[in-house]
Structure 1
Amino acid sequence: MNEMLILVDDQDQAIGVGEKMQVHRQGLLHRAFSVFVFDTQGRWLLQRRADGKYHSGGLWSNSCCGHPREGEATDAAARRRLREEMGFECELRHVARITYRLDVSDGLVEHEYDHVFVGRYDGRPQPDPAEASDWAWKPLPELWDALAGQPQEFSRWLRHIAEQTGRAEFERWQSLATR
């Protein structure tokens, strides 16, 4: 069964649905979410996307990301995908909304109205190997240096979110998740 994405206007009002690959080929604006998980030491949980992903395989990215299903609340979808991709659950807090349009690879475009969630977790992730081939906890200064020094190692959306929001906002998200 093809995954259907929720198409939205620039105010995040649903205007229809579309098949996932077609939406990405046409660059249609759709609802999405990005999850950033921290441990109590304030380190960021990154995942390396599995090589077999339909785009951006092998790149480091945020803890989890995805799309809500039609009729599914965005926060519930974020918790579902965190469990499916990284094998754990934690409380998530909605902290931002970001809209972007990025060419990701092979003619595919991520044009997303992205809901950003943060959470705290101190266990050991158990990622689904079809979703994530590796994971790492990174202190923010180390992550920020890597994003600047080796940007090609990271997903386009993680780089864009970092550039668009800035280090101070990343620090605020970290603070919200770890208190």
Structure 2
Amino acid sequence: MAFTEVILVDERDQPLGRMEKLKAHQEGMLHRAVTVYVFNPAGELLLQQRAEGKYHCGGLWSNTCCGHPAPHEETASAAQRRLYEEMGLSCALTPAFSLQYRLPLSNGLVEHEFGHVFFGISGQAPKLNPAEAMAYRYQPLEAVLAETRYNPALFTPWFLLTLPDIPARFHEFLRLRYAG
């Protein structure tokens, strides 16, 4: 189910109102978003290649999935919903960190988001929604980092921004998950 409104927020992620999703990206309004990184049991990251028909960044490789909470939807629920809608997967997701960014896109749109990042581990094979993703692959983080350095034009801007922090944060996630 596609939601057409995003939640506008302030610098502390406090809701300010709603706006139609495309208009928020056209005007560069700060809004709430979710980003999901799923790893397989071997620790490889599940990447998706965005569908060509997406209104921005079509055909580019990115994190497992992303999206926007609907008005009155919790971020954790939105992350679960988007993981299922895009990749046909369900798994436990853990809030990992939050960040804010403003990234101009090649088509004149702006990703100005207060992003909530979630980590999960799954051994399931994705069942891609062709309207959302056209391909997937599992890859070790070191290989993904190397590829983004050599071929950054193949990846979404938000993925290039967040990826350098992911290895350390993922190791911390694993340490906490398996502690005591």
TM bracket, shorter-chain basis: over 0.9
In structure 1, what is the equivalent of residue 106 of structure 2? 105
Q: What percent of counterpart residues are identical? A: 44
Q: Is the Cα contact below 8 Å between 1:5 and 1:20 reproduced in 2?
A: yes
Equivalenced residue count is: 177
Matches of 1:7 and 1:107, distance apart in 2: 19
In structure 2, what is the equivalent of residue 62 of structure 1? 63
Matches within 5 A, 1:1-179: 3-163=4-164, 165=165, 167-173=167-173, 175=174, 179=178
For normalisation by structure 1, the TM-score amounts to 0.94
Query: Where does structure 1 differ by over 2 angstroms across 4 or more consecutive aligned residues?
Result: 165-173, 175-179
Amino acid in the other structure paired with 1:168: A
Q: Is the Cα contact below 8 Å between 1:37 and 1:177 reproduced in 2?
A: no
Q: Quote the offset at 1:88 in angstroms.
A: 1.2
Q: Quote the offset at 1:170 in angstroms.
A: 4.7
Matches of 1:64 and 1:126, distance apart in 2: 13
Secondary structure of the residue aligned to 1:25 is helix
Change (3 A) 1:80 1:135: same
Q: Is the Cα contact below 8 Å between 1:119 and 1:177 reproduced in 2?
A: no
Q: Is the Cα contact below 8 Å between 1:38 and 1:177 reproduced in 2?
A: no
Q: Quote the offset at 1:177 in angstroms.
A: 9.1
Secondary structure of the residue aligned to 2:11 is coil
Name stretches of at least 5 consecutive residues in structure 2 with no aligned partner: none
For normalisation by structure 2, the TM-score amounts to 0.93
CA RMSD of aligned residues (A): 1.7
Matches of 2:102 and 2:27, distance apart in 1: 11
